[in-house]
Amino acid sequence: GAVVSQHPSRVICKSGTSVKIECRSLDFQATTMFWYRQFPKQSLMLMATSNEGSKATYEQGVEKDKFLINHASLTLSTLTVTSAHPEDSSFYICSARLDTYGYTFGSGTRLTVV
């Protein structure tokens, strides 16, 4: 089946540094990937839609300069959290749409900013 590989699974960084999260589609081409953020006991909140070869579309309230998204190929999308702060600590998940109703999700990245 279609698999999205997300790395790292867990990262701890110091406040003010940048962190890059990668999502790769392993056996299919993903022209569009979605980046979500999930706080404890809360639902997935869509941050941005990543389109291969073009600029990402960000949801209202999401800072473009803070959450940099790059989708340079059909199998790789990256999210970089720049100048991270403790309030950026969260669970970040990527996904790719397979068809109208199906998404395949990455395993998620637990970011802790200290």
Partner 1 sequence: QKEVEQDPGPLSVPEGAIVSLNCTYSNSAFQYFMWYRQYSRKGPELLMYTYSSGNKEDGRFTAQVDKSSKYISLFIRDSQPSDSATYLCAMTGNTGGFKTIFGAGTRLFVKA
- Please select the residue that binds partner 1; options are 7, 11, 74, 91, rule is CB under 8 A: 91
Contact call for residue 41 and partner 1 (CB under 8 A): yes
42 vs 83, beta carbon nearer partner 1: 42
Q: Closest distance between partner 1 and the C-beta of residue 2, in Å?
A: 10
Contact call for residue 102 and partner 1 (CB under 8 A): yes
Q: Measure Cα distances from 26 to 4, 16, 52, 99, 101 in Å.
A: 6, 32, 16, 17, 20
Size of the site for partner 1 (CB under 8 A): 21
Contact call for residue 44 and partner 1 (CB under 8 A): yes
Q: SS3 string of 31-95?
A: CEEEEEEECCCCCEEEEEEEECCCCCEECCCCCCCCEEEEEEECCEEEEEECCCCHHHCEEEEEE
Contact call for residue 101 and partner 1 (CB under 8 A): yes
- Please select the residue that binds partner 1; options are 7, 20, 66, 110, rule is CB under 8 A: 110
Residue 59 amino acid letter: E
Tokens representing 37 are 């953020």
Instruction: Give the C-alpha separation, 105 to 23, whole Å.
Output: 10
* Interface positions with partner 1 (CB under 8 A): 4, 6, 9, 41-44, 46, 91, 93, 95, 100-108, 110
